[in-house]
Amino acid sequence: MAKQETKVGRRKFLKGGALAAGAAAGTLAAPNLALAAPKVLKVQAAWGGGIFLENAKSYVDRVHAMAGKDLRIDLLSVNSVVKTSQMQDAVHRGVLDGAHYVPAYWYSKSKAASLFGTGPCFGWSAQEMLGWIHYGGGIELFNELMGGLGLNLVSFFNSPMPAQPLGWFKEQIKDASQLKGLKYRTVGLAADVLLEMGMSVVQLPGGEIQPAMKSGLIDAAEFNNPTSDRDFGMQDVSKHYHLASFHQSQEAFEITFNKKMYDKLPTEHQNILRIASEAENSNFYWHNTLRYADDLINLKEKSGVNVYRTPDSVMVEQLKAWDIVVDRISKEDPFFAKVVESQKTYAKKVMNYLLLNQPDYGLAYKHYFG
């Protein structure tokens, strides 16, 4: 009997001990559940809708696909927390964790900013500009600029934009002399270039372009591409659309994050934010090029827009204006000159190969399509 009681007692002890151990384990596990809560980044885009907001969402989707539930981005549309002009400062101060925009939107802080998005064309496209940023010393120069400006930011660049159209006018532009005196909307260094060509430049956000042209505040304008222009309703205020220009012949998105926040993230999360940017680089070009082509056809066939290629004579004058602007700013700003020299070194080498190697695709296009 005593032995039986001993066995029962031991069983109760072991059972009770197991329960106690389970309770203790549950107590210890509770903090782990709290630690497993996803990190949520508040990122504001410079876009209220349209294809560029779609592109920002595509980047976010790629982050989520790789990070699962551990890292999430709360993507906010334009002006959700701060105005577009205040986005960089908001990320710097930690009011926002990140932003999706273009360098031209903070060009007022440093004219060198425009060189990372809307700078002079050295015979290259946005693809080669991004090559320079990633492999030609561009990102090191960008980080040097951030340090010089005292900005607590880390940025990734992606999405090679096709050359931006010269834009929308009240009549067909056949000669550069027609541009003199026109009130025209653009941003970044392009403003300096077109001022040099005799235009009166107004820098407006995308959503204000069409109303400004409709009211007569401006005579002509560009934004970026046929899809965005169609969404803005530019075809309702002009029927003369000029493609091809050197004023903004290469541009890319900048995704910027608060550096202190970024540095505290696990290495795998840092890598996900960077690699998602690289992946979106290809997706943007494949996705947007087709949309732009479709919407250009719609502008012509459904809205009666006359589409022209900007005359070479106008683009030659743009290159001359770029020379004047770049030379003037380089004399004033040694860092600007340093970036330009780096870009020229890269473009001279890479474009020498590409221009020698690439066949005339226009020749093949005419052969098949006339």
pLDDT tens for 117-160 read: 889 999 999 999 999 999 999 999 999 999 999 999 999 999 99
The letter for the amino acid at 115 is: L
Q: What is the DSSP string of 168-204?
A: EESS---SGGGGTT-EEE--THHHHHHHHTT-EEE--
Confidence of residue 36 (pLDDT cuts 50, 70, 90): low
Confidence of residue 107 (pLDDT cuts 50, 70, 90): confident
Give the CATH number of the domain where residue 101 resides: 3.40.190.170
220 part of a folded domain: no
Assigned token pair, 333: 């700003």
Nearest by Cα to 254 from 100, 77, 147, 141: 100
Q: How far is CA 301 from CA 163, 180, 243, in A?
A: 23, 31, 16
Whether the per-residue pLDDT at 26 is higher than 60: the answer is no
Percent of the chain topping pLDDT 70:
90
The CA distance from 128 to 138, in Å, is 11
Q: Which residues form the domain of 104?
A: 37-160+250-289
Whether the per-residue pLDDT at 11 is higher than 60: the answer is no
Q: Is 154 helix (H, G, I), strand (E, B) or coil?
A: strand
Whether the per-residue pLDDT at 203 is higher than 60: the answer is yes
212 part of a folded domain: no
Strands 251-258 and 153-161, by their bridges, are: antiparallel
pLDDT at 207: 83
114 part of a folded domain: yes
57 part of a folded domain: yes
208 part of a folded domain: no
Mean pLDDT of 43-70: 96
Please state the domain count of the chain. Answer: 1
Whether the per-residue pLDDT at 34 is higher than 50: the answer is no
- Cβ contacts of residue 355 below 8 Å, gap of 6+? 123
333 part of a folded domain: no
Burial 138-169 (b: 16+ CB within 10 A, else e): bbebbeebbeeeebbbbbbbbbbbbbbbbbbb
Confidence of residue 179 (pLDDT cuts 50, 70, 90): very high
278 part of a folded domain: yes
69 part of a folded domain: yes
Mean pLDDT of 157-174: 96
pLDDT at 23: 41
Mean pLDDT of 353-358: 97
Nearest by Cα to 242 from 317, 321, 320, 173: 173
Confidence of residue 338 (pLDDT cuts 50, 70, 90): very high
Q: Looking at 10-19, 177-186, 231-240, 358-367, which range is the least confident one?
A: 10-19
| Average pLDDT for the chain | 91
Mean pLDDT of 218-230: 95
Q: Looking at 36-40, 119-123, 160-164, 200-204, which range is the least confident one?
A: 36-40
Confidence of residue 33 (pLDDT cuts 50, 70, 90): very low
